[in-house]
Amino acid sequence: MGRPRWRLRVTAGCAALSWVLFAVTLAVPDWIEAVLRVNPDQGSGSLEWAIAGVLFAAAVGLSGITRREWRRLQPGGVG
């Protein structure tokens, strides 16, 4: 029973991190350049939009996996 709970915690944590980074990227798109000290898109913002899209897709996907794991661990859950 420990392994499925571990899997649930990891997917939930990764989903939460993806949602937070997605929100931060939308609110403060220049954080990427500030942290990495590079400007690969020369200020056009295209990289930030691409990263936001990837983070959104990851957050949605990981949230779905987390939900499936949660339901599977519930008594009478679908396996």
Residue 43 · residue 13 · CB < 8 Å: no
The residue among 19, 50, 14, 16 whose CA lies nearest residue 32 is 50
Burial class (CB in 10 A: 0-12, 13-18, 19+), 55: buried
* 73 has pLDDT over 80: yes
pLDDT for 35 equals: 85
- Token couple for 46: 């295209």
Continuous H helices in the chain: 2-27, 31-36, 46-73
Segment 39-52 mean pLDDT: 83
Q: Is the pTM of this model over 0.85?
A: no
